[in-house]
């Protein structure tokens, strides 16, 4: 299969880079970093071993890209309103769009705006990866990608996972996409928001008893929101997320990086959607809603 990477940053560059390193045909969309990518290729400094893709199949416009079997979207959800127009030139009947993004309900939103013959899946990466320069990525830790199908050809989706696994990436098939999305929120909701509101990193959040307790309480509230939607997240999963973060290298989550660079934060997809989904089923998530309101206040200060 051939691949398109829409959003060649810390996440798309890593997974797309791994596929290209393994010999797959991968087409990368760049914007401001296009010239650097053409000149130097795509560089990934990884805890699993550094590598470069040179030359790289680089583009600055999807109209110049070929239609692809699998399109990995690694843009922030804050620009998802542009996706149908952006994807149109590279879709063909049977194409599969995998949204490697944070949040809830994003697959349904996109599927409603794409042709019915295009498949849609969700990808949940558990990975510490940052962009540290033009077409230059630093992969610090982990790397697992969990994928669940929203609609379309399951065989194609599983083949993508097999090819990614052959490239050295840990992959997990999620038979229940909604459950996988809520499980990702168990980590995303506390660490993304608190890293901004408390001006800190994951390591510091875990080191102090008060912030650690706050992290756990937010995770438990995500658990309650999922239960309202008919999804069971066991207590052991919360313990697992805490333990994995304890072992994680010091890390600034994506929302903290967006705040640092004064970019829009993914408040709607990560916080507002879960709060609304639970409320429609009669369950309030007061801690998460408080964090959502704090983030909106902070964002308003630098994005008036």
The answer to whether the CB of 191 falls within 8 A of the CB of 252 is: no
First to last CA, the chain: 44
Alpha carbons within 13 angstroms on the beta-carbon side of residue 209 total 0
Tokens of 54: 């040179």
Residue tagged active-site, from 76, 184, 252, 300: 184
- Residue 12 makes CB contacts below 8 A (sequence gap 6+) with 5, 6, 28, 72, 73, 74, 75, 100
Q: How many CB atoms lie within 10 A of CB 64?
A: 12
**Residue that has been written with the tokens 């409603």 in this structure:** 112
Residue reference for tokens 């650097």: 36
Q: Is 300 a known active-site residue?
A: no
- Token representation of residue 162: 């097999």
User: Are the C-beta atoms of residues 270 and 298 closer than 8 Å to each other?
Assistant: no
Helix (H) or strand (E) holding 172: strand 171-173
The residues that are catalytic are: 184
């Amino acid at each position: 299969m051939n691949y398109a990477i829409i959003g060649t940053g810390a996440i798309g560059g890593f997974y797309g880079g791994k596929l290209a390193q393994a010999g797959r045909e991968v087409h990368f969309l760049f914007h401001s970093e296009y010239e650097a990518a053409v000149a130097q290729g795509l560089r990934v400094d990884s805890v699993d071993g550094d590598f470069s893709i040179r030359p790289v199949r680089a583009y600055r416009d999807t109209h110049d890209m070929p239609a692809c079997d699998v399109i990995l979207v690694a843009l922030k959800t804050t620009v998802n309103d542009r996706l149908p127009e952006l994807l149109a030139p590279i879709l063909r009947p049977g194409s599969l769009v995998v949204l490697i993004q944070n949040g809830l309900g994003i697959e349904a939103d996109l599927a409603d705006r794409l042709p019915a013959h295009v498949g849609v899946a969700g990808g949940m990466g558990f990975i510490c990866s940052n962009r540290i320069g033009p077409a230059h990525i630093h992969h610090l830790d982990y790397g697992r990608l969990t994928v669940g199908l929203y609609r379309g050809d399951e065989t194609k989706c599983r083949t993508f996972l097999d090819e990614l696994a052959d490239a050295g990436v840990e992959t997990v098939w999620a038979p229940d996409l909604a459950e996988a999305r809520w499980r990702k929120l168990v980590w995303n909701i506390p660490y993304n928001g608190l890293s901004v509101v408390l001006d800190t990193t994951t390591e510091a959040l875990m080191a102090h008893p008060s912030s650690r307790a706050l992290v756990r309480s937010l995770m438990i509230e995500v658990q309650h929101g999922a239960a309202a939607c008919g999804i069971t997240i066991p207590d052991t999963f919360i313990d697992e997320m805490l333990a994995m973060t304890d072992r994680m290298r010091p890390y600034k989550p994506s929302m903290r990086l967006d705040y640092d660079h004064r970019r829009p934060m993914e408040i709607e997809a990560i916080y507002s959607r879960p709060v609304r989904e639970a409320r429609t089923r009669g369950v309030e998530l007061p801690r998460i809603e408080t964090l959502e309101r704090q983030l909106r206040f902070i964002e308003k200060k630098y994005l008036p």
